[in-house]
Amino acid sequence: MVKRLSVLDANRCTGCQSCMFACSRRFGVGGLAYSAIHVRSVGGIEHGFVVIVCRACPDPPCAKVCPVDALKVRVGGGVILDAAKCIGCGFCAKSCPYGAIFWNERENKPNICVYCGYCAGYCPHEVIALEELG
Protein backbone atom coordinates (compact mmCIF):
# COMPACT_ATOMS: atom_id res chain seq x y z
CA MET A 1 0.00 0.00 0.00
CA VAL A 2 1.22 3.50 -0.73
CA LYS A 3 1.56 5.83 2.20
CA ARG A 4 1.32 9.52 2.89
CA LEU A 5 1.92 11.79 5.80
CA SER A 6 -1.20 12.82 7.64
CA VAL A 7 -1.89 15.61 10.11
CA LEU A 8 -3.81 13.90 12.88
CA ASP A 9 -4.43 16.88 15.14
CA ALA A 10 -2.82 20.26 14.51
CA ASN A 11 -4.19 21.49 17.86
CA ARG A 12 -1.61 19.35 19.62
CA CYS A 13 1.22 21.04 17.71
CA THR A 14 3.45 23.21 19.90
CA GLY A 15 5.42 24.66 16.99
CA CYS A 16 8.70 23.04 18.00
CA GLN A 17 9.47 22.29 14.35
CA SER A 18 11.34 19.08 15.22
CA CYS A 19 9.65 17.56 12.15
CA MET A 20 11.10 20.24 9.86
CA PHE A 21 14.60 19.64 11.18
CA ALA A 22 14.12 15.88 10.86
CA CYS A 23 13.20 16.25 7.19
CA SER A 24 16.46 18.05 6.37
CA ARG A 25 18.44 15.69 8.59
CA ARG A 26 17.10 12.79 6.55
CA PHE A 27 19.20 14.24 3.73
CA GLY A 28 22.21 14.31 6.02
CA VAL A 29 22.25 18.02 6.71
CA GLY A 30 21.31 20.41 9.48
CA GLY A 31 19.15 23.49 9.11
CA LEU A 32 15.94 23.66 7.12
CA ALA A 33 16.97 24.12 3.49
CA TYR A 34 15.86 20.64 2.45
CA SER A 35 12.65 20.37 4.45
CA ALA A 36 9.43 19.34 2.74
CA ILE A 37 7.24 19.97 5.77
CA HIS A 38 6.47 23.33 7.31
CA VAL A 39 5.02 24.57 10.57
CA ARG A 40 3.96 28.15 11.06
CA SER A 41 1.54 29.95 13.30
CA VAL A 42 -2.07 30.58 12.34
CA GLY A 43 -1.34 34.31 12.08
CA GLY A 44 0.08 34.64 15.60
CA ILE A 45 1.34 31.98 17.98
CA GLU A 46 -1.61 32.58 20.33
CA HIS A 47 -3.90 30.96 17.78
CA GLY A 48 -1.85 27.80 17.33
CA PHE A 49 -0.13 26.28 14.34
CA VAL A 50 -0.62 25.12 10.78
CA VAL A 51 1.24 21.98 9.76
CA ILE A 52 1.75 21.92 6.01
CA VAL A 53 2.46 18.56 4.39
CA CYS A 54 1.96 17.06 0.95
CA ARG A 55 -1.47 15.38 0.89
CA ALA A 56 -0.43 12.99 -1.89
CA CYS A 57 -3.34 14.02 -4.12
CA PRO A 58 -4.62 11.32 -6.48
CA ASP A 59 -4.78 13.92 -9.26
CA PRO A 60 -2.00 16.34 -8.30
CA PRO A 61 -1.97 19.80 -9.91
CA CYS A 62 1.78 20.11 -9.40
CA ALA A 63 2.42 17.26 -11.85
CA LYS A 64 0.06 18.82 -14.39
CA VAL A 65 1.86 22.14 -14.51
CA CYS A 66 5.39 20.75 -14.70
CA PRO A 67 6.57 21.66 -18.21
CA VAL A 68 9.32 19.02 -18.30
CA ASP A 69 7.57 16.05 -16.67
CA ALA A 70 9.95 16.12 -13.72
CA LEU A 71 7.04 15.29 -11.41
CA LYS A 72 5.57 11.87 -12.02
CA VAL A 73 2.24 10.89 -10.49
CA ARG A 74 2.80 8.09 -8.01
CA VAL A 75 0.51 5.09 -8.25
CA GLY A 76 -2.08 5.62 -5.54
CA GLY A 77 -1.46 9.36 -5.21
CA GLY A 78 1.30 11.90 -4.74
CA VAL A 79 4.29 12.67 -6.93
CA ILE A 80 7.88 11.60 -7.39
CA LEU A 81 10.49 14.17 -8.43
CA ASP A 82 13.06 13.43 -11.08
CA ALA A 83 15.53 16.11 -10.04
CA ALA A 84 17.66 15.64 -13.15
CA LYS A 85 14.78 16.78 -15.34
CA CYS A 86 13.69 19.71 -13.15
CA ILE A 87 14.50 23.15 -14.57
CA GLY A 88 13.54 25.05 -11.40
CA CYS A 89 10.67 27.03 -12.91
CA GLY A 90 8.67 26.89 -9.67
CA PHE A 91 5.27 26.30 -11.33
CA CYS A 92 4.68 23.28 -9.10
CA ALA A 93 5.07 25.32 -5.94
CA LYS A 94 2.62 27.92 -7.23
CA SER A 95 0.06 25.32 -8.24
CA CYS A 96 -0.26 23.63 -4.86
CA PRO A 97 -3.27 25.07 -3.03
CA TYR A 98 -1.80 23.98 0.32
CA GLY A 99 1.58 25.56 -0.30
CA ALA A 100 3.05 22.14 0.43
CA ILE A 101 5.88 22.43 -2.08
CA PHE A 102 8.79 24.29 -0.54
CA TRP A 103 11.57 25.91 -2.43
CA ASN A 104 15.16 24.86 -2.00
CA GLU A 105 17.14 28.01 -2.79
CA ARG A 106 20.39 26.14 -2.72
CA GLU A 107 19.40 23.66 -5.43
CA ASN A 108 16.85 25.93 -7.09
CA LYS A 109 14.47 22.99 -7.05
CA PRO A 110 11.38 22.07 -5.07
CA ASN A 111 11.54 20.04 -1.87
CA ILE A 112 9.03 17.28 -2.56
CA CYS A 113 7.82 15.00 0.20
CA VAL A 114 8.90 11.39 -0.35
CA TYR A 115 6.32 10.02 2.13
CA CYS A 116 8.97 8.33 4.25
CA GLY A 117 7.55 9.37 7.62
CA TYR A 118 10.96 10.15 9.13
CA CYS A 119 9.56 13.47 10.46
CA ALA A 120 6.70 11.72 12.28
CA GLY A 121 9.25 9.86 14.37
CA TYR A 122 10.31 13.18 15.84
CA CYS A 123 6.91 14.59 16.67
CA PRO A 124 6.72 14.59 20.46
CA HIS A 125 2.97 15.20 20.51
CA GLU A 126 1.48 12.84 17.93
CA VAL A 127 0.51 15.59 15.54
CA ILE A 128 1.59 13.79 12.37
CA ALA A 129 1.79 10.16 11.29
CA LEU A 130 2.41 8.11 8.20
CA GLU A 131 -0.81 6.44 7.05
CA GLU A 132 -1.85 4.16 4.26
CA LEU A 133 -3.71 5.70 1.38
CA GLY A 134 -6.88 3.95 0.54
Partner 1 sequence: MDEYLKNILYIDLSRKRFWVEDRGSLFEEYLGGVGVASKILLEECPKNADPLGPENVIVFAVGPLNGLFPLASKTVACFKSPLTKSYGESHAGGRSAIAIRQAGYGAIVIKGASETPVYVAVHGKNIIFRNASALWGLRNSITVGRVLREIEGGAGVRTIMRIGVAGENLVSYASVNTETYRHFGRLGLGAVFGSKKLKAVIVSGKTMISVSNVKRYRELYDKIYTTSIKSSVMKKYHDLGTASNIIPLNTIHALPTKNLRESSFEYAENISGERLAEKYLGRRVACAHCPIACIHLAALREPYVTEPYFYKTTMISYDHELLYALGSMIGVKDTEGVLKLIDEVEKWGVDAMMTGTVLAWMTEAYERGIVGENEILGLKLEWGSVESYTKAIEYIVKGVNEFYKTASKGLDALTSRYGGEEFSLSYGGNGMPGYHTGPGAHLTYLTGARHSHLDSAGYSLDQETLKGKQLSEKEIAEKLYHEESWRQILSSLVVCFFSRGIYTPETVCETLDILGYSFNEVELKRLGEKILSNKNDFKEREGFNMLNQRFPKRIFETPTPFGLLEEKTLYESVKEFYKILKERARNS
Q: Does 32 bind partner 1 (CB under 8 A)?
A: yes
Q: Are 131 and 8 in contact (CB under 8 A)?
A: no
Give CA angle at 61 (2, 111), nearest 5°: 70
Q: Are 41 and 48 in contact (CB under 8 A)?
A: yes
**Nearer to partner 1 among residue 18 and residue 73 (C-beta):** 18
How many residues bind partner 1, per CB under 8 A? 30
Q: Does 105 bind partner 1 (CB under 8 A)?
A: yes
Candidates 39-47, 64-72, 77-85, 126-134; binding stretch for partner 1 (CB under 8 A):
39-47
Q: Does 58 bind partner 1 (CB under 8 A)?
A: no
Closest CA to 41 of 20, 13, 22, 19: 13
Task: Name the helix (H) or strand (E) containing 79.
Answer: strand 79-81
Q: Does 73 bind partner 1 (CB under 8 A)?
A: no
Q: How far is the CB of 52 from partner 1 (least distance, A)?
A: 9
Candidates 33-41, 63-71, 74-82, 87-95; binding stretch for partner 1 (CB under 8 A):
33-41
Query: How remote is the C-alpha of 49 from its chain's centroid?
Result: 16
